Amino acid sequence: MKAIKVSVAQLTPKLADKQKNLQLISDAMIEAKRDQADLIIFPELFLTGYSVGSELDQLAETEDGPGMTEVRRLCLEQGLYAAISFPEKGEDGHYYISSALIDDNGEVLGIYRKTHLFDQEKMHFTPGSEFKVIETSLGKIGMMICFDVEFPEIARSLKLSGADFIVIVNANMHPYELHHNLFARARALENEIPVIICNRLGKEGDLDFCGDSMVIDATGDILLEMKQTEGVQTVELAIGQQLDPKMSYTTNRRAELYSKIAEQ
Bridge-based pairing state of the strands 95-102 and 108-113? antiparallel
Q: Average pLDDT of 158-172?
A: 98
Q: How far apart are CA 62 and CA 70, in angstroms?
A: 12
The sign of the dihedral angle between the CA atoms of 103, 197, 185, 237 is: positive
Q: Which of 44, 61, 192, 204 is catalytic?
A: 44
For residue 238, pLDDT beyond 80: yes
Q: Which of 88, 89, 146, 192 is catalytic?
A: 146
Q: How far apart are CA 43 and CA 126, in angstroms?
A: 19
Q: What is the pLDDT of residues 27-42, one digit of tens each?
A: 999 999 999 999 999 9
The yes-or-no answer on residue 263 being catalytic is no
Confidence of residue 264 (pLDDT cuts 50, 70, 90): low
Q: What is the pLDDT of residues 61-109, one digit of tens each?
A: 999 999 999 999 999 999 999 999 999 999 999 999 999 999 999 999 9
E strands, the chain, in order: 2-10, 39-41, 81-89, 95-102, 108-113, 132-136, 139-145, 165-169, 195-198, 203-204, 207-208, 214-216, 222-225, 231-239
Q: What is the pTM (predicted TM-score) of this model?
A: 0.97
Q: Which of 89, 114, 132, 159 is catalytic?
A: 114
Residue-range domains of the chain with CATH: 2-263 (3.60.110.10)
The yes-or-no answer on residue 44 being catalytic is yes
Q: How far apart are CA 67 and CA 21, in angstroms?
A: 9
